[in-house]
Amino acid sequence: MLLDKVASVEKRYIELEKLMASPDIISDRERYNSLSKELSDIRDIVSKYREYRKILAEMENLKAMVKDREVSAIAETELADHDKRQHQLMNDLEYLLLPKDPYDDKNIFIEIRAGTGGEEAALFAGSLLRMYLRYAERKDFKTEMINDSPTGLGGYKEAVIGIYGKGAYSLFKYESGTHRVQRVPATEASGRIHTSAATVAVIPEADDIDLKIDERDLRVDTFRSGGAGGQNVNKVSSAIRITHIPTNTVVVCQDERSQHQNRAKAMKLLRSRLLDERLVKQKGEIDELRRIQIGSGDRSEKVRTYNYPQNRITDHRIGLSLYKIDAVLDGDLDELVEALSLADKTVKLQKSKNA
């Protein structure tokens, strides 16, 4: 029973509070941090459970007050509000007890690639890059460029960025897939609307503990960093290309001036890519979370359309349309993220109830 599970979580919470007050635990930094994380992970469950019990107790008092003519109207109104709240708390507890995505708290890499549409697609890829950087900034996450291939007009053939901060994956994971834009290019004299696309892949950062890589499986090449030319082009071969021979996975990093720094970044990206591929392979098709993220699991599937003439952004996975393209492309993604998260929550709860 759900409430029995929650009661056992509360029991563990009380136990953890006592343990963390112990001098032996306080002096053991590793143990203390482990218990602190466990306590943090279940705090919301316990908080909602305690509110739920309080609501039930208050409802019993209100039921008695309903019989009193002088206060019955007020009591009935409060009773209805309490009833609604206790149902919401029960739904919240059901969701909180579902297995958590183990990668939600991870740092991430975002890979953006221009698709069909030539230079217009590259410009759109640049718009997506700026959107994610601005959203990360709003969330106080640290960002860094891993690799980029800019075009002459300010667009990007591809760009790979790292975003670092607790919960980064939980916020950005729904961005994976193909994003489509409909607008009149600046170079279009006839005013005809063009449709272009860019693909986005969001990958949780892999730790050494997540995936081991045998150095003998790697081919490492160095080359001079590309760029717009002039003083921006490195005179030495500091850029790194690493190929994982068994899977033919290739990563490139050329943002740093130091070959050592580029290699370290490239290895982080390679490890994360290989982990992402392994997780997809292990799951066969794709679990319900990835269905929310990228539809059927094919990253070429269209997930969102940005229609400039109508100032409309439509997320096709949940049928949501917003009429504020400029705000969204300036990093105002909260409404989209919250709606996708709610859809994910609904799918998970339904699946749990049907199990």
Distance between the two ends of the chain, CA-based, in angstroms? 14
Residue-wise pLDDT for 59-112, tens only, equals: 999 998 988 888 889 999 999 999 999 999 998 898 888 888 888 989 999 999
β-pair type (194-204, 218-223):
unpaired
Give me the half-sphere count of Cα atoms (radius 13 Å) on the Cβ side of residue 116: 10
Rg for the chain, CA atoms, rounded: 25
Instruction: Place 214 in a pLDDT band, splitting at 50, 70 and 90.
Output: confident
pLDDT at 208: 62
- How large is the average pLDDT for residues 307-315? 96
- How large is the average pLDDT for residues 237-248? 87
Domain 2-96 has CATH 1.20.58: yes
Whether the CB-CB separation of 313 and 324 falls below 8 Å is answered with: yes
β-pair type (312-315, 302-307):
antiparallel
Whether the CB-CB separation of 228 and 235 falls below 8 Å is answered with: no
Domain 108-285+302-346 has CATH 3.40.50.720: no
What span, in angstroms and rounded, lies between the C-alpha atoms of 109 and 136?
Answer: 12
> Could you give the percent of the chain with pLDDT greater than 70?
88
β-pair type (194-204, 108-114):
antiparallel
Our measurement of the distance from residue 85's CA atom to the centroid of its chain's CA atoms, rounded to an integer in Å, reads 29
Q: Which of 17, 22, 18, 24 is nearest to 39 (CA)?
A: 17
Q: Judge whether residue 298 has pLDDT over 60.
A: no
Our measurement of the distance from residue 339's CA atom to the centroid of its chain's CA atoms, rounded to an integer in Å, reads 13
Residue-wise pLDDT for 150-206, tens only, equals: 998 889 999 999 999 999 999 999 999 999 999 998 767 677 888 999 999 998 888
> Could you give the percent of the chain with pLDDT greater than 90?
50
pLDDT at 275: 81
User: Which range, of 54-58, 211-215, 288-292, averages the lowest pLDDT?
Assistant: 288-292
Q: What angle do CA 249, 179, 331 make, to 5 degrees?
A: 105
- Domain coordinates in residue numbering, the chain: 2-96, 108-285+302-346
